[in-house]
Amino acid sequence: MLKCTSCGKEYPLRKPCQRCECGEPLELELFKGVPGIGRSIWERFSQFYPFELDLEYSLGEGDTPLTKAKRLSKELGVRLYFKNETLNPTWSFKDRGTFIGIHRALELGFDKIGTVSTGNMAASVAAYGARFGLETFILVSSSIAEEKLKTLAPYGARVIKVHGNYGELYYKSLELGQKKGIYFINSDDPFRVEGYKSISFEIAEEIAPDYVVIPTSSGGLFRGIVKGFLELKESELIDNLPTFVAVQAKGCSPLCRAFNEGKQKIERFENPHTIAHAIENPYPPSGNAVLRLLKELKGLCVAVSDDEILKAQRELAREGLFIQPASATGIAALRKLREEGKIKAGARVVSILTGSGLKFLDAVKEGKVRECRIEELGECL
326 touches ligand PLP by CB under 6 A: yes
Beta-strand relationship, 26-28 and 2-4: antiparallel
Stretch that binds Zn ion, among 18-26, 54-62, 92-100, 162-170 (CB under 5 A): 18-26
**Between 155 and 174, how does the x/- string for binding to ligand PLP read (CB under 6 A)?**
--------------------
Minimum distance, C-beta of residue 25 to Zn ion, in the bound complex (Å) = 9
Q: 23-42: which residues touch Zn ion (CB under 5 A)?
A: 24
Nearer to Zn ion, 6 or 178 (CB): 6
For residue 354, say whether it is annotated as part of any ligand binding site: yes
- Using CA atoms, how far apart are residues 27 and 224, in angstroms rounded to an integer? 10
Cα separation, 122 vs 185, in Å, equals 10
Name the minimum Å distance from CB 52 to ligand PLP: 25
Does residue 258 interact with ligand PLP by CB under 6 A? no
Stretch that binds ligand PLP, among 26-34, 103-111, 217-225, 257-265 (CB under 6 A): 217-225
Q: Judged by CB under 6 A, which of 64, 136, 217, 253 binds ligand PLP?
A: 217
Nearer to ligand PLP, 44 or 125 (CB): 125
- Single out the residue of 222, 191, 226 nearest to residue 97, CA to CA: 191
Q: How far is residue 248's CA from residue 98's CA, in Å, rounded to a whole number? A: 23
Our finding on whether 5 is near ligand PLP (CB under 6 A) is no
The least distance separating ligand PLP from the CB of residue 355, rounded to whole angstroms, comes to: 3
Could you tell me whether strands 66-68 and 79-84 are parallel, antiparallel, or unpaired per DSSP bridges? antiparallel
Residue 1 as a binder of Zn ion (CB under 5 A): the answer is no
Distance CA 77, CA 128 (A): 40
Contact between 89 and ligand PLP by CB under 6 A: the answer reads no
Map the footprint of ligand PLP across residues 30-69, applying CB under 6 A: none
Which of the residues 351 through 370 are near ligand PLP (CB under 6 A)? 354-355
- Name the residue whose CB lies closest to ligand PLP: 355
Of the pair 35, 127, the CB lying nearest ligand PLP is at 127
CB of 379 to ligand PLP, least distance (A): 43
Please select the residue that binds Zn ion; options are 1, 10, 15, 22, rule is CB under 5 A: 22
- Give the one entry of Zn ion, ligand PLP, none that residue 327 binds, where binding means its C-beta sits below a cut-off of 5 to 8 angstroms depending on kind: ligand PLP
Nearest CA-CA partner of 312 in 330, 293, 297: 330
Q: Is 187 a binder of ligand PLP (CB under 6 A)?
A: yes
Q: Does 124 bind ligand PLP (CB under 6 A)?
A: no
Residues listed for the chain:
381
Q: Which residues bind ligand PLP (CB under 6 A)?
A: 92, 94, 119-121, 187, 215-222, 278-279, 324, 326-327, 354-355
Binding residues: 120, 354
Task: Give the residue ranges of the annotated binding site for pyridoxal 5'-phosphate.
Answer: 120, 354
